[in-house]
Every structure is written in structure tokens, then in C-alpha cells.
Amino acid sequence: MCHIKSSEEEESDRSLTWKEESNISQREEPFDNAALVCPEHEVNQYDFHIVYSATYRVPVLYFRSYHGDGQLLPFDEIEKDLPGHSAKLRSESKWTFISHEEHPYLNRPWYKLHPCGTSDWMKLLFNGDSSLNKKDFVIEQYLVSWFSAIGLVVGLKMPLEMLDTVVSNNS
């Protein structure tokens, strides 16, 4: 709703505000607990999505972060949440950089670990692996290997259950 005030009403509001301020200065200012409460360590929330890129033919990690009140974090604040080794890893490697793009399904801006080098380093990882003959196993092993490498960049740890599943399927 929009309420348009005339210049006379605005002047009246200004003078009323000034009168209220002078009255407050003559008496004790009210104590507002809500204005004094400040969280010591605010926890930021993260959403992660793994989306297959038809262009690069690899999985891509999309993510976004926001404060407890729902306000999205800018990248400089997200960088503060990333593990210390992440900045070094991203600066030294041509394969791990973060870009800001539209999520392919949600049509909203999200960050992503750019997939341009993923195929190359995954080939290096699986070079000479005899388990590549088992198609079902390869998919599971590929995703677990990909996730264990990509997760390091953003501080995600792979649950041991994921690794146990791949190892037990290989036996």
C-alpha cells in the first residue's frame, strides 16, 4: 500500500518528531532489550544442489548462502565461511573456480564450482582403473570421487557411508 502525504502533513510530522525528541531528552530514554541483543556467532545457512551439465557432461555443484533472516550473502561473506585451504586451492588450480550464474532449474542466481576442467581431472583420477568395466559401479565410484574432491573446496565432508557403499559394491 502506498500513502502519499502532502507537504503540510510532512511538515507536521517533522515538527511532531522534533517535539517528541525534546520530551524524551527531558525524561529517561526507554530501555529496549531487542535493540541490544546481538548474536555473537550468527550461523549462515547453505543450500547445495548437484546438477548434471549437458554441456560439460559432468556433475556441477551449485550453492547459495543466506543469513538466518533469509538475506542472501554476497560472495565476499561466503568466502569467509569457506575453509582456509579453499582460497589457495582455487587460486592455484585452473579447475576450481567459483562463478555466479542462474540455476538451470530454479532460474535464480546461485554460485557454482565451474565445471570446465572436471572432465579432465576425473579422467586423470580414473586413468588405468580396471573397475571401469562395471558400468553400475563406475557411476557410484565416479560420483563419490567427484564429491570427495569438489566437497573440499566448499568445506563439505563426504560421509563414510558413501565410501563404504562404493567399497562394498566393488567386492
What is the DSSP code string of 140-158? HHHHHHHHHHHHHHHTPPP
Contact 144, 166 (CB under 8 A): yes
- C-alpha cell read off for 82: 569457506
Burial class (CB in 10 A: 0-12, 13-18, 19+), 100: exposed
Which grid cell is 100?
555466479
First to last CA, the chain: 66
- Reported confidence tier of residue 139, pLDDT bands at 50, 70, 90: confident
Dist. CA 47–CA 8, nearest whole Å: 50
Determine, yes or no, domain membership for 31.
no
Instruction: Please compute the mean of the pLDDT values over residues 48-54 and round it to a whole number.
Output: 95
Would you say residue 139 lies in a domain?
Answer: yes
What SS3 class is residue 85? helix
| Count of structural domains within the chain | 1
- Whether 127 maps to a domain, the answer reads yes
pLDDT, residue 106, reads: 97
Per-residue pLDDT tens over the stretch 60-112: 999 999 998 899 999 889 888 888 777 676 667 655 678 999 999 999 999 99
| Domain contains 101 | yes
Residue 98 confidence (pLDDT): 86
Output the nine-digit C-alpha cell for 40.
Answer: 555473537
Backbone torsions φ then ψ of 33, nearest 5 degrees: -60, -40
Residue of 51, 82, 89, 116 marked active site: 116
C-alpha cell belonging to residue 34: 531487542
Rounded to two decimals, what is the model's pTM?
0.66
Q: What CATH number corresponds to the domain at position 151? A: 3.30.1460
Domain span including residue 109: 45-170
- Residue 111's pLDDT is 95
Q: What percent of the chain has pLDDT over 90?
A: 24
**In-domain check, residue 37:** no
What grid cell was written down for 171? 567386492
pLDDT of 143-161, one tens digit each?
Answer: 888 888 888 888 888 888 8
**In the annotation, is 38 catalytic?**
no
How many residues are listed for the chain in this entry?
171
